[in-house]
Amino acid sequence: MTVADGSQVRLADVSEATIGTTPATPTFQVMRYVTSDVKLSKQTDVPNEVRADRNVSTITDVGRSVTGNINTLLSYGTFDTWLERLLCSTWSTNVLKNGITPKTGTLEQFFEQGATDTYIRYQGVRWNTLDLSLTARKSVEANWGIMGIRSPTPTSAIITGATYTDPTTSSVFNAGLNVASLALTGVTNSPKMQKLTMRINNNIYQNDVVGSYEPYGHGLSRFEVTGTMTTYFENLDTYQAILDHSDVSLAFTLLDADAKSYAFSLPKVKLLDGGPTGVGNGQPVLLDVPFQAYYDATSIASLSITRSG
């Protein structure tokens, strides 16, 4: 037998027209990723029954669901479908805004094991969270949190009629060369940032029903965009905006060597906390500023992403 090699695991994805149903002859998109811990999560219950010999009487299998994270590096055109699922919306003239339409996909993991390979699939998968990280002198990290309904019985063959599209080849964005127009509008002097993190969260919840071994489905809760800016303390402007609880806007553009770009816009933001910290010798004074976006009536959204097309 051949032990599966982590460097040869293929992750592929296809959109579902019906939630929880893989297309009959799917065209899978092979995805670019760094690590993935997506799995079928098994729930068990240990009945608290008393036995005179103090042993556990039984362990009950009570349910299954799909959970996990997919860690990636952001590149142009690679994750446009995932962004649609995350924002529950559709690109319109290359603009994507947060919406209310559930979108799901089927994920497939292929494990190379010699003569007999393994395929594990996950259906009814929703994109619940995205943690985006821009750090000086590092690639832009995009880490996705997913939730799904089921994982069919693993097989040793592709779905009949399935085809596979090669992964994209666009260059990975990096926070040293590929960030343009990073600005905090509403602050007199926009601060220089050492790091910017942003979390997009659908707060998806699982609906369970009696008589069902897997989730009946998922629900959408409030759409939230939060994050933290680590800025250099050069003046009082950002700190004053924190104290005044001012409305500000945050925008940044990721632009690769081929002039392909994503422009992220959070038109209404509150700076929640933060103050200058004296960290000691040989280090700059920084402001760690947590923030949260909220609804902007002009944009009709909390977050919009514009791609160059």
Domain count, the chain: 1
Does the predicted TM-score (pTM) go above 0.85? yes
DSSP-derived 3-state class of residue 228: strand
Residue 235 near residue 288, CB atoms below 8 Å = no
- Over 90: is that where the pLDDT of 146 sits? yes
- Over 70: is that where the pLDDT of 171 sits? yes
- Tell me the β-bridge partners of 132: 142, 198
Q: Could you report the per-residue pLDDT of 147-169, keeping only the tens digit for each?
A: 999 999 999 999 999 999 999 99
Residue 227 half-sphere exposure toward CB, CA atoms < 13 A: 23
In a domain, 24, yes or no: yes
By residue range, what is the domain housing residue 168?
6-41+60-307
Cα–Cα dist 40/152, whole Å: 10
In a domain, 244, yes or no: yes
In a domain, 156, yes or no: yes
The overall average pLDDT reported for the chain is: 93
In a domain, 265, yes or no: yes
- Over 70: is that where the pLDDT of 1 sits? no
End-to-end CA distance of the chain: 47
In a domain, 52, yes or no: no
Residue 38 near residue 19, CB atoms below 8 Å = no
- Over 80: is that where the pLDDT of 298 sits? yes
Q: Could you report the per-residue pLDDT of 14-68, keeping only the tens digit for each?
A: 999 999 999 999 999 999 999 999 999 999 999 999 999 999 999 999 999 999 9
In a domain, 1, yes or no: no
Q: Which of 73-77, 79-83, 129-133, 185-189 has the lowest mean pLDDT?
A: 185-189
In a domain, 27, yes or no: yes
Mean of the pLDDT values across residues 271-284?
A: 84
In a domain, 149, yes or no: yes
Write down the pLDDT at residue 182: 84
